[in-house]
Amino acid sequence: MKKYDVIIIGAGAAGLTAARHALENGRRTAVFDIGDNPARKVALSGGGRCNFTNAAAAHNRYFGRNQDFVRGAIARICPDDMLQWARERHNLSFVEKSPGQYFCVQGAGAVVDALMADCNDADFYFNASVRDVAKTSDGFLVQAGRIQAQCQSIIIATGGISFPAAGVSDAGYVIAKNFGHKIVPVRPALCAIATKRFSDELAGVSVPVEIRIAGETIRDDMLFTHFGIGGPAAYRATVRDMSGGMEINLAPGMDVAAIMRMAKQNSGRKSAAGVLGAILPARVAKWAAPNAGKNIADYKDCEIDAICDRICRIRLDADEIKLHGMQSAEIVRGGIDTDGVSSKTMESKICPGMFFAGEVLDIAGDLGGFNLHWAWASGAVAGKNA
């Protein structure tokens, strides 16, 4: 039976980062993973370009029952720290797709190679599904099929159960629950939304929108689909608390009522859709004002107000929203309850010597590199302390 100082369950972004820091502390380290290769979600991230981190990483871009839980880790490991590691240690370079959002020029595969290069001294066990972890007098006993190993400390970095095509497992939740941790129910996040509010004829149209949800305003692009809405704005909405529904404005920053009333006076023979076509895609304008045979001059003010509401105040109650499933979700919302975990060390408050890192915890980041940064930060803290 092999004996280690630290065993890490999960060879993803958080697990490999934890392994690096454990090795740097001189700890004999092993990594177990259910798949046949490491960092599978990292390799797929950013469309293969790896949205590595985001300069705006702060507690208000993370969501869970305790939003403040992330403060300590992301203060210790900031975006500049990770960029410095990548540039100076592995000669990787980055571009900003949008301000503060960093993608790797060499591609996601180069990031995976860098993570693995830092873990050369660790033992890796792939195709090893760990579901049985027992506490011993001096640590833990880990079993994966016929493989048994002992360790002083264990780090659970199994990730969430979204995007099963990448090879995922609920083992982290099972292990944590067996040791007395509560699991916040998981649901898909960073995914598309099914709703019957919009016409199929809008599918493929993208518009800049404002989405008001849970006391926040999201400003980003939204894509109409055959089943509802997608694109960055919709994805970002799904990581937030959706229990109160949301409101969508398809013409942010525009006074649509004033535009239509002005047209009523000056361009009365135009249709309402024709007027709206100057500020909205044609198909959206026709959906908002479908009566093509009616001149704008013939609209009553209350009818104009109704069209404005159809554009600027689209209310979707919670029961009108259906999230796409785990198959296409980038992450999950929910996981191991952070009340049972130290935010300073990532160590269990229930079982000393057990640590957690990454998406397996009830922490979900916004779209744009925030989730990978949480993996780097929480993995580093766990690895340093294990």
Distance, CA of 165 to CA of 130 (rounded, Å): 19
pLDDT band at 131 (very low <50, low <70, confident <90, very high): confident
Distance, CA of 280 to CA of 260 (rounded, Å): 13
Q: CA–CA distance from 94 to each of 17, 19, 84, 280 (Å)?
A: 19, 24, 11, 35
SS (H, E, C) the chain: CEEEEEEEECCCHHHHHHHHHHHHCCCCEEEECCCCCCCHHHHHHHHHCCEEEECCCCHHHEECCCHHHHHHHHHHCCHHHHHHHHHHHHCCCEEEEECCEEEECCCHHHHHHHHHHCCCCCEEECCCCCCEEEEECCEEEEEECCEEEEEEEEEECCCCCCCHHHCCCCHHHHHHHHCCCCEEEEEEECCCEECCCCCHHHCCCEEEEEEEECCEEEEEEEEECCCEEEHHHHHHHHCCCCCCCEEEECCCCCCHHHHHHHHHHHCCCCEHHHHHCCCCCHHHHHHHCCCCCCEHHHCCHHHHHHHHHHHHCEEECHHHCEECCCCCCCEEEEEECHHHECCCCCEECCCCCEEECHHHECCEECCCCHHHHHHHHHHHHHHHHC
Q: Which amino acid is at 336?
A: I
Degrees to nearest 5, angle at CA 341 with 336 and 343: 115
Q: Which amino acid is at 351?
A: C
Closest by alpha carbon to 100, among 71, 78, 73? 78
Domain boundaries 2-186+333-385, corresponding CATH code: 3.50.50.60
Distance, CA of 371 to CA of 188 (rounded, Å): 14
- Other Cβ atoms within 10 Å of 271 Cβ, number: 22
Q: pTM for the full model?
A: 0.96
Distance, CA of 59 to CA of 66 (rounded, Å): 10
Beta carbons of 117 and 38 less than 8 angstroms apart? no
**pLDDT, tens digit (0-9, with 9 covering 90-100), for 304-353:** 999 999 999 999 999 999 999 999 999 999 999 999 999 999 999 999 99
pLDDT of residue 97: 87
Average pLDDT, the chain: 97
Beta strands 29-32 and 123-125 are parallel
Beta strands 29-32 and 183-189 are unpaired
**pLDDT, tens digit (0-9, with 9 covering 90-100), for 186-238:** 999 999 999 999 999 999 999 999 999 999 999 999 999 999 999 999 999 99
Beta carbons of 17 and 375 less than 8 angstroms apart? yes
**For residues 135-157, average pLDDT:** 97
Report the percent of the chain where pLDDT is more than 70: 100
**For residues 9-28, average pLDDT:** 98
Beta strands 246-249 and 314-316 are antiparallel
Closest by alpha carbon to 314, among 157, 207, 192? 207
**For residues 64-72, average pLDDT:** 97
Domain coordinates in residue numbering, the chain: 2-186+333-385, 192-324
Beta carbons of 51 and 103 less than 8 angstroms apart? yes
Distance, CA of 110 to CA of 79 (rounded, Å): 18
Beta carbons of 18 and 379 less than 8 angstroms apart? yes
Where do we find the tokens 């898909």?
188
pLDDT of residue 319: 95
pLDDT of residue 382: 99
